[in-house]
Structure 1
Amino acid sequence: MPPETPPNAADRFDDDDYPAYTMGRAAEMIGATPGFLRAVGEARLITPLRSEGGHRRYSRYQLRIAARARELVDGGTPVDAACRIVILEDQLEEALRINEELRRPTADSGGAAAS
């Protein structure tokens, strides 16, 4: 049995959940400090994965979430409150998406009744 082929590195660039960014790079990308990323982690807004050496690694999805919290903090919202707001916004977006899916007609429920 041949060994499992590792994912193509190019595929990882398209994966929003791949933990590609170090703490320093992630902080730089969203215009924050490493301390801010630690704070949103402590508030459980995001949970970075850890490298084999124990270093935090962030995905693009996590950086978008952290950037939204940073916007709120920059506007004067305390970090804990900003994290709660972002969590609620994310939950609302998911609920709206599910609601829309459930409202869409399916092929099985087409308009014609069986004779």
Structure 2
Amino acid sequence: MAGSDDMLNDDHYPAYTMGRAADIVGASQDFLRRLGEENLIVPFRSAGGHRRYSRHQLRLAARARELVDKGTALEAVCRIISLEDQLEAALQHNRDHECR
């Protein structure tokens, strides 16, 4: 079983409640819900049904908030961030499999 230190260092561990996540990102809870509706971030659900967010998800939400604040439509923001993530994953895959 993973120790608490492992969970705290895990970028994908859902450590933050919706209220805390909204405070960290500087956005409303409704904004986080809308990101979920757009499938940019899908929060973990606790046994009681409460949304929980990881640090990775908070970084995505912060990036989304920055783009929305600059006037980009939320649907476009979610698509842009998804494509950026896909590109980064592909580039990492290429780096991992370069001929030596």
TM-score norm. by structure 1 comes to 0.83
Match of 2:82 in 1: 87
Question: Matched residues in 1 for 2:26 and 2:99: separation?
Answer: 40
Instruction: Please state if 1:45 is matched with 2:34.
Output: no
**RMSD of equivalent CA atoms:** 1.0
* Matched-pair identity in %: 60
Match of 2:18 in 1: 23
Alpha-carbon shift at residue 104 of structure 1 (Å):
4.0
Would you say how many aligned residue pairs link Structure 1 and Structure 2? 100
Question: Matched residues in 2 for 1:17 and 1:78: separation?
Answer: 27
Match of 1:14 in 2: 9
Question: Matched residues in 2 for 1:12 and 1:102: separation?
Answer: 29
Question: Matched residues in 1 for 2:54 and 2:22: separation?
Answer: 12
Question: Matched residues in 2 for 1:79 and 1:27: separation?
Answer: 16
Instruction: Please state if 1:72 is matched with 2:67.
Output: yes
Greater than 4 Å deviation, 4+ residue runs: none
Question: Matched residues in 1 for 2:95 and 2:8: separation?
Answer: 29
Q: Higher relative contact order at CA 8 Å, sep ≥6: structure 1 or structure 2? A: 2
| Structure that is richer in helix per residue | 2
Task: Return 5+ residue gaps in structure 2 as ranges.
Answer: none
Alpha-carbon shift at residue 99 of structure 1 (Å):
1.4
Alpha-carbon shift at residue 30 of structure 1 (Å):
0.7
**One-letter amino acid of the structure 2 residue matched with residue 78 of structure 1:** A
Name which one, 1 or 2, has greater alpha-carbon Rg.
1
TM-score norm. by structure 2 comes to 0.95
